[in-house]
Amino acid sequence: MRILVVNPNTTASMTATIGACARAVAGPGVTVEAVNPATGPVSIESHHDDAMSVPGVLVELAAGEAAGADAYVIACFGDPGLLAARELVRGPVVGIAEAAMRTAAYLGRGFSVVTTMERTVGHTWDLARAYGLERQCRGVHATGIPVVELETDPEAYATVLGASRAALDTDGSEVIVLGCAGMADLCARLQRDLGVPVVDGVAAATLTARSLVELGLATSPRGEFAPLPHQAPMMGPAVSH
């Protein structure tokens, strides 16, 4: 089985972290390829970043389809391009936000999302509503850490830990969802320190994608995500800043 994991931002070091976290859970018989677009935003922290990332995501997905990928993960907590991706490729496409929130809903009455910048909080709520999880999502909390500084800020772990503790108390929730693919490598330590389930969307999405393939399931060819009537043009390089 081949799973293509697309990091929609163009920070290669983050793509490597994402790939390692996906491989750590993928299990035997599953090859994980982690890629990012050649051009586009280095991080996705606004609607504009989100929009600018989608062409590159779709180019990578189309290339994965041509190379015979069985399933796909969009590894950005905004799930950019998720619906368009389901029109473009035949294998299941799983966004890390949807996978993480659905996984968290199995584990308690309510979950809290701990994310990066304040301006992304509204979009996370939009996603919770879109996925029918607004009742289980008790709160969305920004740490104020820019995505790219998750790798460089020596205080990043302590900040995410403190925000998670505060979220559990403020929201009365029982589960933490990490609201950024760049937090994936903090998950196990946070779970130990918090004593509650901590869900990383990269791992959740990878295993969701694997399970769907193992169940012989894929995006329905009927209705909204039916194959596009025209052969989607292979776009040129995504617009660079």
- Residue among 80 and 110 whose Cβ is closer to ligand 5HY: 80
Helix residue ranges per DSSP H, 136-178: 156-171
Instruction: Report, in Å, the least distance between residue 193 CB and ligand 5HY.
Output: 21
- Residue among 202 and 207 whose Cβ is closer to ligand 5HY: 202
Instruction: Report, in Å, the least distance between residue 146 CB and ligand 5HY.
Output: 8
- Residue among 163 and 213 whose Cβ is closer to ligand 5HY: 163
Question: Which residues contact ligand 5HY by CB under 6 A?
Answer: 9, 43-45, 76-78, 115-117, 120, 147, 180-182
- For 31-51, letters b (16+ CB in 10 Å) and e give ebbbbbbebbbebbbeeebbe
Rounded to whole angstroms, the Cα distance separating 124 from 237 reads 28
Rounded to whole angstroms, the Cα distance separating 41 from 124 reads 19
Instruction: Report, in Å, the least distance between residue 121 CB and ligand 5HY.
Output: 9
- Residue among 73 and 76 whose Cβ is closer to ligand 5HY: 76
Instruction: Report, in Å, the least distance between residue 237 CB and ligand 5HY.
Output: 19
Pairing of strands 137-142, 111-115: parallel
For residue 3, the Cα-to-chain-centroid distance in whole angstroms is 14
